[in-house]
Amino acid sequence: MSHAVFQLDGITKTYPATGAEEAFVALSRVDLDIAKGEFLSIIGPSGCGKTTLLNLLAGFLKPSTGTVWRSGLANPAPGPDRTMMFQDYALYPWMTVAENVGFGLLAKSLPRRERDEIVRHFIRLVRLQGFEDKYPDQLSGGMRQRVSIARALAPDPAVVLMDEPFGALDSLTRDEMQEELLSIWAETGKTFVLVTHSIDEAVFLSDRVIAMSAKPGRIQTVLDIPLARPRRPDIRTRDADFLELKQTIFDLLHHGRGASHGPSAGGH
């Protein structure tokens, strides 16, 4: 892949034995390329190493064997080129919306006027105008997640890593946030990598879906999602190709079968 933002080469991650617990192999022999500007989702059963893989991309963990390549660097430490979003919003309750969005900019030594303009831009992007001076406990769950998205994007990272960011939301709000996220992804052109347990979410958002198997965590299949963009909300219930892709992933995850719609490893 000529424009890969990440290349994972023979990644294994083993957590050492502690006390009575044996060593645990979270990931085994993972090879994967992630393309610049793509939306990639990782899905699989609990214990398949999805979050471990995301933390390796973030630089929070180092592989036991193999190499994570990022811009020519092997196993890079965390940096401003990557940002992580979590399910629990991770907002500072004592800060306003505007202060939370601008928090990541403080380390960049930007003039106050420039920081304020960036904050205004991303508050507009997530449609929270008029809520700049509100605190997180004054917002709905969906609005808090919008603040999290704006805060993740404000420092201008190349890659946005997301660990079940919509898992705590109700079904209707979750659908709305997915549609919002696709609009933001299309406007910014950034690379998004999402960990999810939702097959519907993975198919709706992604260019490719990584289906993983557990014990140890391995990439079972990489599926291309050749659905036209932009994606209308009613594609979830009315589009035969969408429903077929969902069924394919369901079969892979639950029965270990299903036709592959893409290569079994990296490639885009």
Question: Considering the domain boundaries, does residue 219 fall inside one?
Answer: yes
Question: Considering the domain boundaries, does residue 229 fall inside one?
Answer: yes
Three-class DSSP category at 163:
strand
Question: Considering the domain boundaries, does residue 182 fall inside one?
Answer: no
What pLDDT digit, counting tens, does each position of 144-174 carry? 989 999 999 999 999 999 999 888 788 888 8
The domain of 201 spans 1-81+193-268
Question: Considering the domain boundaries, does residue 225 fall inside one?
Answer: yes
- Asked if 30 contacts 200 with a C-beta cutoff of 8 angstroms, the reply is no
CATH number for 57: 3.40.50.300
Question: Considering the domain boundaries, does residue 246 fall inside one?
Answer: yes
Question: Considering the domain boundaries, does residue 181 fall inside one?
Answer: no
Distance CA 138, CA 112 (A): 26
Which residues of the chain are modeled with pLDDT < 50? Answer: 1-2, 257-268
- Asked if 69 contacts 9 with a C-beta cutoff of 8 angstroms, the reply is yes
Looking at the structure of the chain, the number of domains it has is 1
Question: Considering the domain boundaries, does residue 55 fall inside one?
Answer: yes
Three-class DSSP category at 32:
strand
From the DSSP assignment, how many helices (H) and strands (E) are in the chain? 8, 10
In this prediction the pTM is 0.88
What pLDDT digit, counting tens, does each position of 11-20 carry? 999 998 777 7
pLDDT of residue 109: 80
Question: Considering the domain boundaries, does residue 70 fall inside one?
Answer: yes
